[in-house]
Amino acid sequence: ACAISPKAIVSDACASYSTLERLNRNVKPALDELTQTTDFFSHYRLNLFNKRCPFWNDENGMCGNIACAVETLDNEEDIPQVWRASELGKLEGPHAKHPGKRVQKERPERPLQGKLGEGVGESCVVEYDDECDERDYCVAEDESAASKGDYVSLLRNPERFTGYAGDGAKGVWDAVYRENCFQKSSFPSSASLGKAPTPRGPAALDFKAVIEAAGRQQVLEQQRQSNPLTPFVAKTGLEVEDECLEKRVFYRVMSGMHASISTHLCWDFLNQTTGQWQPNVGCYKARLHTFPDRISNLYFNYALLTRAVAKLGPYLANSGDYTFCSGELDQDAATRAKVLAVTEKAGSVPQIFDESLMFKNGEGPSLKEDFRNRFRNVSRLMDCVGCDKCRLWGKLQTAGYGAALKVLFEFDNSEHPEPPVLKRTELVALFNTYARLSSSLSAIQKFRNMVEDAEAAA
Ligand code: FAD
């Protein structure tokens, strides 16, 4: 009776912050246990280095080139190497390559090329080759890349301050929000518009202008086609977009993800001149406290992920498809029990987000296609992030939201009675994204208290 409508502001009566915070206090310990103590959920496979940024030229441009992508302090030469952004952004820990088909066949007993470290049950980490499904909201990690990617430890690479900032980072965020430029049919996306490599700087502006011009053209064309008899009114794309619920949801998911990343980098912040890792209240105030809409979007995402995880529970409990550790019965059972502990707790409250309100109007199916394509573009955009650790978490979280949307909109779908199977990477991404949001909620409450304490003391 009290589900969050995608239209609601999270601070609305029944979806108050405190409701979600109470729920989080219940879910968080189980979620931490799952993501921090199981091999299956603490390793993620992704193509971090073999993919090119598909939207602008990453040789001269914003990504892949540390000099322009990683903005450093003015006088970074004066601080120790280990505190510099170029070091903070690097990946830690052993990596292992995904086994090719041949290796999987020839050495089924030990297929991983490389080692993930002592005590890591590789049978819990390696998955079989997976194929794309048209119902995916993210591009599969192996799309158009020769390599299937590397396995990395998420525990060895926590999401925290890296010093990545400046034009490179801003360019990616700007492009993410530009994907929100919904139209009612096949609006040309940045995937097609951005294919030709464009240099950095002015060309990035051209890119924006091209999209805006194409958008206006499309809107005008639609108006003409939908009602050729009415006088021709030149509307901007924005006016048309404002009517669309799906567009608002898309924006909230992106903004909530951005807010969660900001929360982590402020919470686990390195003072690059003293070398101390500590929460940075000033960072929180500047990026979040003064922007209640961003915090509301973060809570919105928490509600959305909670619903997806709760909805997935019965499928995971009943389906024989999900083997967490092939060949290791004990670990498999332990991991399964930890997953189900999370899904049960997430489902312990009445349905918290009502996805059935979306994609319901006459244009539902085409809007959904558009929504999905935009989401895929954002996931491709993550290859333009010029800092390895940020790219890791950016990719993981877009994949996590993609998996959540797949569960919300593709399971119990009358057109496809068979629910799609979630790949290992999707499951790992989904639960780790939920864990990121859970830790953001908890950090925000602590930050809020710090601000209140400081104000009371002043
Ligand atoms: P940014 O955060 O870059 O924001 C750019 C603009 O977007 C702002 O000026 C504002 O207008 C708008 N904006 C900001 N927040 C929101 C919001 N929540 N909703 C809507 N609009 C908003 N840095 C790290 O230290 N560690 C990381 O792990 C990390 N991961 C990243 C992952 C990705 C995918 C990207 C693109 C960047 C990442 N960064 C990371 C960099 C970080 O997000 C910021 O870009 C950087 O700290 C510079 O911040 P800023 O204050 O200039 O504004």
Beta strands in 272-320 (DSSP E): 276-278
Q: What is the pLDDT of residue 393?
A: 95
Q: Give the residue numbers of the binding site.
A: 160, 162, 173, 255, 258, 287
Could you tell me if the CB of 260 is within 6 A of ligand 1?
Answer: no
Q: How confident is the model at residue 194 (pLDDT cuts 50, 70, 90)?
A: very low
Atom 27 of ligand 1, nearest CA residue: 390
Q: How far apart are CA 392 and CA 175, in angstroms?
A: 18
pLDDT digits (tens, 9 = 90+) for 427-450: 999 999 999 999 999 999 999 999
- As annotated, the active-site residues are 387, 390
Binding-site residues for FAD sit at 160, 162, 173, 255, 258, 287
For the complex shown, is ipTM > 0.90? Answer: yes
Q: Report yes or no: 351 and 28 within 8 Å, Cβ to Cβ.
A: no
Which pLDDT tens digit goes with each residue over 123-182?
Answer: 888 776 555 556 666 665 544 445 667 888 999 999 999 988 888 888 899 999 887 765
Which residue among 88, 258, 300 is best mutated to probe the pocket of ligand 1, counting the most ligand atoms within 8 A of its Cβ? 258
At 33-76, the pLDDT tens digits run 999 999 999 999 888 776 678 777 655 434 343 433 333 345 66
| Protein residue with its CA nearest to atom 18 in ligand 1 | 259
Which residues lie across from 151 on neighbouring strands?
A: 45, 96
Handedness of CA 263, 268, 272, 273 (dihedral sign): positive
- Length of the chain, please? 458
Atom of ligand 1 nearest to the CA of 176: 36
- Ligand 1 pocket, residue 22 CB under 6 Å: no
> 270-320 pLDDT, tens per residue?
988 888 999 999 999 999 999 998 998 999 999 999 999 999 998 888 866
Cβ neighbors of 201 (< 8 A, separation 6 or more) are none
- Cβ(91) to ligand 1 under 6 A? no
Q: What is the pTM of this model?
A: 0.82
CA dist list (Å): 32 to 41, 126, 396, 424: 10, 22, 17, 18
Structure tokens at 90: 């690097």
The answer to whether 204 and 171 have CB atoms below 8 angstroms apart is yes
User: How many Cα neighbours within 13 Å face the side chain of 27?
Assistant: 33
